[in-house]
Amino acid sequence: MSSNALHSANRFKLGLFGLNVDNACAITTIDGVFRPTWPNVKALTGLADAAGFEALVPVARWRGFGGETNFNGACFETFTWAAGVGGLTERAAVFATSHVPTIHPIVAAKQATTVDHITGGRFALNIVCGWFEPELEMFGAAIMEHDERYAYAAEWLDVLKRLWTAEEEFDHDGRYFHIKRGFHQPKPIQRPFPPIMNAGGSGIGRHFAAKHCDMIFIHIKGQDMAAARKDIDEVRALARKDYGRDIQVWANCYCVIGDTDEDALKFRDWYVREKGDWQAVDNLVRSLGLQSGVLPKEQLEGAKYHFIAGWGGYPLVGSPAHIADDLGKLADAGLDGALLSWPRYEEGLRRFIAEVMPLVEQAGLRRPASAMKAA
């Protein structure tokens, strides 16, 4: 039986996103946003672990996006974050998020293995190919063309997996890496290796995730659940038909809980329109290549709104009952799980655990944390 909660029997799995970066996922100036202090990390990951959340996923970040908040500028490195969080928790899968151009696979293999042993086999790795040019410039790393990033990441991952599995020394003479007598001991607890996630949005990104990864992180566009189901089904079919693999499909959601739907919508509008860091989000969308001229003005402004609200995630906005119902719709569309964030992170997480989680359990999407622990 797997020691990793990502393989739990829950129909719909839950995770926390961004608990290593300033403001987490909300690009706003309101009070109560997440601040990356270790006491805060310890408190919130402990709450989620006790409540039965399956995943704790940090953001790979090396510098911020400017503006009043310098969004995500203060941040913890993700492998050492994972080691610390792994020592604090008992059940949840603990991820590191790795920018492949910034770390050699021999180092990443050793760090990942160390965290897998610290956690008793609960480590997972989120692969990021690197897109924020000012970060890569800090490292003196070449800014690769889009498709080449995935070629580089594929070879990086091939080396990593070979280090995790090969019992004998090996040489590797590839396009990007040249290794003499590669060696790695001990091996990870999870065999053949820990779960791997990637957020592949483009066609080549989808193929990369389907071929090399165990989980794909997708973007749910709009409220059309039929379109979402079609997209999810296509991702699964790609993995099965082209690569003979089954993968989990997850999404990023931001959560705004109110006493009523109207309360939640008003609060979101306030923290985005009146308190949002619009300079930071302008810098962000330019870095993503989504500036004016690429998207129609109305679509661009909508994207900025949801980036401020919660890194462009799927909106879970409303009363506890409304949010529980929306999670059920995502499950019915075929998602295996969602990574969640809140604008006022601790307040939102506590309220979700107290008011939304029981409704999700009653709907049959999850078992209570006490039952999972006993199992």
**Per-residue model confidence as pLDDT tens digits over 100-120:** 999 999 999 999 999 999 999
Low-confidence ranges of the chain (pLDDT < 70): 1-2, 291-295, 372-375
DSSP state of 196: E
Structure tokens at 195: 């779960």
Cα maximum dimension of the chain: 62
- Can you tell me the distance from the alpha carbon of 19 to that of 258, in angstroms, rounded to the nearest whole number? 22
Structure tokens at 303: 């994207």
3-state secondary structure of 201: coil
Structure tokens at 98: 């790795």
- Are 163 and 182 in contact by the 8 Å Cβ rule? The answer is yes
Pairing mode of beta strands 13-17, 337-341: parallel
pLDDT at 19: 98
3-state secondary structure of 67: coil
- Are 5 and 92 in contact by the 8 Å Cβ rule? The answer is yes
Domain residue ranges in the chain: 5-266+312-374
CA distance to 104, 108, 297, 308, 312, per residue, from 303 (Å): 34, 33, 10, 9, 7
- Are 213 and 197 in contact by the 8 Å Cβ rule? The answer is yes
β-bridge partners, 255: 316
pLDDT at 374: 47
**Residue 51: closest CA among 363, 357, 330:** 357
- Can you tell me the distance from the alpha carbon of 33 to that of 22, in angstroms, rounded to the nearest whole number? 8
> What is the per-residue DSSP string for 251-263?
EEEEEEE-SSHHH
- Are 121 and 4 in contact by the 8 Å Cβ rule? The answer is yes
**Residue 95: closest CA among 37, 132, 54:** 54
**Per-residue model confidence as pLDDT tens digits over 195-237:** 999 997 788 999 999 999 999 999 998 888 999 999 999 999 9
Question: CA angle, corner 53, sides to 47 and 59, nearest 5?
Answer: 85
Q: Enter the CATH code of domain 5-266+312-374.
A: 3.20.20.30
β-bridge partners, 173: 178
**Residue 130: closest CA among 83, 163, 98:** 98
- Can you tell me the distance from the alpha carbon of 104 to that of 117, in angstroms, rounded to the nearest whole number? 20
Question: CA angle, corner 368, sides to 327 and 87, nearest 5?
Answer: 100
